[in-house]
Structure 1
Amino acid sequence: MPESRKRKKSGHTVGSTPTPPAGPRPSPHWWAPTMVALMVLGLVSVVLTYLTQGNLPVPGLGNWNLAIGFGVMITGFFMTMRWR
Structure 2
Amino acid sequence: MPKSRIRKKADFTPPPATKTTAIKLTNRSWVAPVMLGLFLIGLAWIVLFYVTEGSLPIEAISNWNIVVGFGFIAAGFGVSTQWK
TM-score (norm 2): 0.68
Letter in 2 for 1:38: L
| Residue 11, structure 1, aligned to residue 20, structure 2 | no
Show structure 1 runs of 5+ residues with no match.
1-9
Distance, in Å, in 2 between the alignment partners of 1:31 and 1:82 is 7
Q: 1:18 Cα shift?
A: 4.5
- For the aligned residues, what is the CA RMSD? 2.2
Q: Percent identity?
A: 35
TM-score (norm 1): 0.68
**Corresponding residue number in structure 1 for 2:77:** 77
> Against the structure 1 CA distance between its residues 27 and 49, is the aligned structure 2 distance closer, same or farther, given a 3 Å change threshold?
farther
Letter in 2 for 1:79: V
Q: 1:29 Cα shift?
A: 2.1
Corresponding pairs, count: 69
Distance, in Å, in 2 between the alignment partners of 1:50 and 1:26 is 40
